[in-house]
Chains A and B, each alone.
Chain A
Amino acid sequence: TQLLEQSPQFLSIQEGENLTVYCNSSSVFSSLQWYRQEPGEGPVLLVTVVTGGEVKKLKRLTFQFGDARKDSSLHITAAQPGDTGLYLCAGGSNYKLTFGKGTLLTVNP
């Protein structure tokens, strides 16, 4: 059974701070995706990484895929209240996504 563990589970920070959330697995995935979910909404795709060691930047967000394609991290620089939400990582295989439980981020003004 493929499992993804995310840490921390909860994170509350002040506006302007930097943060990193982690996603780890004992299994190799063909791709790894990060989603952001707001209350009452479905997850919204932020990024897909497919190559070991790959780094992608999306404005203040930096995503990294581990060399062995088993782990990933999301780093946010100068967090803003609009970044508040549930951040989910998901490993892709042939026909499904395996999600972690998510990191609930709260950015206080």
Chain B
Amino acid sequence: ETGVTQSPTHLIKTRGQQVTLRCSSQSGHNTVSWYQQALGQGPQFIFQYYREEENGRGNFPPRFSGLQFPNYSSELNVNALELDDSALYLCASRATGGRDGYTFGSGTRLTVV
């Protein structure tokens, strides 16, 4: 399988709710990262998973959590949604160890009302 696929493409949630975003990484890419991109901003690093364990985290609170599965899929979970969580959430994968760039998915547009 080629490319990175994210679902859903759009989502509307109410403040205080929980959300799970899904990503299917490119085959052979065992490193996956999640980014948050607010309107008019560059993507901000949330965390990275390698071999199903978190091995790097950005400046995001613990209510942002993730999972990575052996079949190159992963999840981003956000609890207690806040209005400021409204953003485009991007999943990116790459082969471990290389200096090649990441392959990004098209993202999930989350709106919190």
Contacts and interface: CB of A to CB of B under 8 A. Distances in A.
B16 interface: no
B58 interface: yes
Contacts of B48: 95-96
Interface of A: 4, 30-31, 33, 35, 40-45, 48, 50, 88, 90, 92, 94-102
10 contacts: A30-B99, A35-B101, A40-B107, A40-B109, A43-B90, A88-B42, A95-B56, A97-B35, A99-B43, A102-B41
Q: Kindly state the interface size class of chain B when it binds its partner.
A: 20 to 34
B56 A96 contact: yes
Contacts of B58: 96
Interface of B: 4, 33, 35, 40-45, 48, 55-56, 58, 90, 92, 99-107, 109
Nearest to B40: A101
A40 B109 CA distance: 8
